[in-house]
A and B are shown apart, each in its own frame.
Chain A
Amino acid sequence: MTRSSQQLWHFHGGLKLDSNKAMSTASPIVKARLPKQLIIPTQQHIGEAGQLLVKVGDKVLKGQALTDCTEYVSAPIHAPTSGHIVEIAELPAPHPSGLNTLCVVLETDGEDKWLDLQPIRHPNTKSPAELRQLIRKAGIVGLGGAAFPTAVKVNPGPESHIETLIINGAECEPYISCDDMLMREYAQELVSGCGIIQYMVSATHCLIAVEDNKPEAISAIKAVIKERALHTIEVVSIPTLYPTGGEKQLIKVLTHKEVPSDGLPSDIGLLVQNVGTAVAVHKAIVLGEPLLSRIVTITGEGVNQPQNMDVLIGTPMSELIEQAGGYHADASKLIMGGPMMGFSLQTDHLPVTKGCNCLLVENTPPAPPATMPCIRCGACATVCPAQLLPQQLFWMASSKNFDLVQDYHLFDCIECGCCSQVCPSQIPLVQYYRFAKTEIWNQERDRIKSDHARVRHDFRQARMDREKVERAEKLRKKKELLEKKKQAEAAQKADGNEAQIDPKKAAIEAAMKRVQAKKAAQKTDSQSSQVNNQAGNDEK
């Protein structure tokens, strides 16, 4: 069903960009060749890496889990095909930092032998919690590029009620067409996946939002919905405007609602999933297949045959470029993602990860920096979809005024790049915001560290103070005791000379007296000697 009257709204700013998508949509999706080796990073998602389940030398089957996730925000990885584990090491992976990641290297055996799968033909016979567990085990993450674990996202918690599920097929970045092609060729699976997610979060509606520059995709999905006579799922054609595909911007366009700055879409009864993720959910549940591959757009003026490929996770990028006819002679830049938000890579000897939607090869050499001072023209503020004042943020970030820059909502910046794109002074604005964010995160970490240190120091100080007091108390008590003893001795002294008599002397004296008494008794009677003896005892 399609509501032709679906009302749409606008978000502030945005840019109309040349889409450049047609170059990669001319041919259908091609299955990429099975490479000799797959390099599968253990960390391809936001959150924690899982615990390794395999060791070097193990033989694994296609679909077998390589890691197990113990943390909540995590996703396991799987063997994309059958073969042997030949290496487990820190290897280069596509990440803006350029740092190495722990990777499992799988030598493929060409048999592509599956693990026993457990498909669920009728997902609604299972509880949402069971399905969530299956999605978690299938290692599904957001395939739009952010790679956030899907199992976490489809579990908004008991307080949130999801009214509408939004399936993001906007794909607003130029050049990228993997979602477009996926919608065209996997419309059945997509609609099925939407239904499963809708069931899991018990959403009453599902809107599949597609930019109006993808009419083929829209009609393909419409046909499936019509064929299945679905009443709660509909396709919405939205105006092509960058960055409509941003989660918050898409929500604004479809519902006029704004996700609170410190909140999540679920706070306003919404859940957004990428079209690729929905297809992955379908595969995980209905076919029982974990996430082993994804559609990657290989495109740009710097590559000979731009196209979309179905690629196993871990395939080296260099092999994909080779299959796409290799580089143009003037290829100058390799970008993972789109031209607006993607990051450029130093080398193509990197594996494709779950979040890798596009490999863009540009042929324009990196321009020499022609940055001029900001002339406060405000073009940046006009296009900012977060309704920020980019030039003010720039002043604050460049003067390292990190308190003020946060007051001007730096952390609402989605780094879409619109401001940099229109800046007449060609200031790399987004770079300044990234710098400021990183600095603030570092400061925050340092602050937490120093807070810990301060607490520790305070404890130590308190302990030392306490000990000091205790020591002083002990000393005082000792002194008191000594004083008492002295006093007692003084009192004894005051009792008289008798007190001074040494007990030994007294004993000797007594003994002497006894002897004398004995002698006397020998002379006199026994009674008088006893009296004498008694007196001697009393003296003691």
Chain B
Amino acid sequence: MQFKTATSPHSPQQNSVQTLMFKVLLAMIPGTIAMIMFFGWGVLINIILASVTALSAEALMLWIRKRPIKPYITDGSALLTAALLALALPQLAPWWLTVIGTLFAIVVAKHLYGGLGFNPFNPAMVGYVVVIISFPKEMTQWVPPLLEAYTQLSFSETLRIIFGGELPLTYTWDAITMATPLDTVKTQLGLELSIHEIETHKEYGPMFGAIGGFGWEWVNGLFLATGLYLALKGIIDWRIPAGMIAALLVLSNTFALYDYASFAPPTFHLFSGGIMLAAFFIATDPITAATTTKGRWLYGMGIGIFIFIIRTWGSYPDGIAFAVILMNMAAPLLDYYTMPRAFGHSWTEFPHHHKVDDDDE
């Protein structure tokens, strides 16, 4: 009998990129639902808008690049980029801002670098950085999280604001948007208020919730829970979030202990803004992260350190996108200097020693 031949290993493989991506997407659902509940329909509209844009851009780029469209459009990577970016944008951001950010992420940050697997920078974060630098005013249109002092918008009202750019009559921007807790802390600290004064302030106080910001703490808590599940299942590497949270915790704790009036407490740092989303869903993007065990620790820690620095002394209220991109740049170097010791070799051996020899020849 004649047979077709193949190379070993011969057992069928169960794992696929698609499964990985969709598991991550699934794990984002609880946190996303919480965001919709606290921040309104704008969250959902942004996600849908970004997803449609991302998938269209992906298909177009694959067609231009003469790549097979079906396996790549269904791999889930474009959807994941879209979702991450959409969750990072303000809920009432105009439609074109979301579209521009997404297009930049997919077309420039992903496909111009070679598509899936070849992009050195996290596409969603590149998209975010582009819009926050280009359209700082629109990037402040955050919705207050179900606070009584503020008006809650209906689905159709939200749709009209996002696509029409106009407020319904009788509404003012001040009535429907507000600064995020991170923003408020930054501004008010600049106005010489202490952390305690800000948190107990008649106007700003309610937004700080129990530990990290009303609404935000729930969103972060849910992303933390599902993120831990992904880490437990080995779908993401636990070292990256662990390193990032540890670094942020140690730094914020040290500074808060040193001067609690001018530095926000660690709980506030960890449970406000997009920290848990970043730790478990953004920083863990394997394509742009370090790949060695030690490298991933350092990579996560680097992101945590940069976030603290940018939040505390930088000019942007949240520095996740910048921190991630900075560490993306460092990833190849981290990989190089954290090579594991190969079996049967000593620690003192290092590839570049050999390389020097080769160059000498």
Assess whether A421 is in contact with B9, with CB atoms less than 8 Å apart: yes
Which residue of A has the minimal Cβ distance to B7?
A431
Partner of B351, one of A340, A342, A376, A404: A404
Partner of B292, one of A342, A362, A389: A389
Question: Shortest beta-carbon distance, B202 to chain A, in Å?
Answer: 50
Partner of A376, one of B2, B286, B293: B286
A190 within 8 A of B: no
Which residue of B has the minimal Cβ distance to A426?
B13
* Binary interface encoding of chain B residues 337-356 relative to chain A, with 1 for a CB under 8 A from any of its CBs, else 0: 00111111100000110110
Assess whether B344 is in contact with A258, with CB atoms less than 8 Å apart: yes
Question: Shortest beta-carbon distance, A266 to chain B, in Å?
Answer: 14
Contact status of A376 and B289, CB under 8 A, knowing A258-B343, A333-B3, A404-B351 = yes
Assess whether A374 is in contact with B3, with CB atoms less than 8 Å apart: no
Which residue of B has the minimal Cβ distance to A335?
B10
Partner of B10, one of A344, A372, A423, A426: A344
- Among the 9-residue stretches A38-46, A145-153, A407-415, A481-489, the one with 4 or more Cβ atoms under 8 Å from chain B is A407-415
Question: Shortest beta-carbon distance, B40 to chain A, in Å?
Answer: 34
User: Which residues A335-356 have CB closer than 8 A to chain B?
Assistant: 335, 337, 339-348
Assess whether A370 is in contact with B71, with CB atoms less than 8 Å apart: yes
Give the A-B pair count, Cβ closer than 8 A.
174
Assess whether A339 is in contact with B343, with CB atoms less than 8 Å apart: no
Which residue of B has the minimal Cβ distance to A318?
B1
User: Which residues B98-125 have CB closer than 8 A to chain A?
Assistant: 115-118
- Among the 9-residue stretches B16-24, B45-53, B87-95, B143-151, the one with 4 or more Cβ atoms under 8 Å from chain A is B16-24
Assess whether B117 is in contact with A430, with CB atoms less than 8 Å apart: no
Interface residues on chain A, number (Cβ under 8 Å) = 72
Inter-chain contacts of B343 with A (CB < 8 A): 11-12, 248, 252, 258, 261, 385-388, 412
Inter-chain contacts of A11 with B (CB < 8 A): 343
Partner of B116, one of A327, A373, A386: A373
Question: Shortest beta-carbon distance, A495 to chain B, in Å?
Answer: 70
A259 within 8 A of B: yes
Assess whether A417 is in contact with B13, with CB atoms less than 8 Å apart: no
A461 within 8 A of B: no
B237 within 8 A of A: yes
A409–B2 CA distance with the chains assembled, in angstroms? 37
* Binary interface encoding of chain A residues 354-381 relative to chain B, with 1 for a CB under 8 A from any of its CBs, else 0: 0000001010101100101111111101
Assess whether B344 is in contact with A377, with CB atoms less than 8 Å apart: no
Assess whether A417 is in contact with B9, with CB atoms less than 8 Å apart: yes
Q: Which residues of B contact A (CB under 8 A)?
A: 1-13, 15-17, 19-20, 71-72, 75, 115-118, 237, 286-287, 289, 291-293, 296, 335, 339-345, 351-352, 354-355, 358
Offer 24 A-B interface pairs, CB within 8 angstroms, sorted by A: A334-B3, A335-B10, A337-B8, A339-B9, A339-B11, A341-B9, A347-B1, A372-B71, A372-B72, A373-B115, A373-B118, A375-B20, A377-B20, A386-B344, A388-B342, A389-B335, A391-B291, A421-B11, A421-B13, A424-B16, A424-B19, A428-B7, A430-B9, A431-B7
Q: Which residues of A contact B (CB under 8 A)?
A: 11-12, 17, 174, 248, 252, 258-261, 263, 318, 321, 327, 331-335, 337, 339-348, 360, 362, 364, 366-367, 370, 372-379, 381, 385-389, 391-392, 403-404, 406-409, 412, 415, 417, 420-426, 428, 430-431, 434
Supply 5 further A-B pairs (C-beta < 8 A) apart from A378-B291, A409-B345, A420-B13. Answer: A258-B344, A366-B4, A375-B20, A376-B117, A381-B293
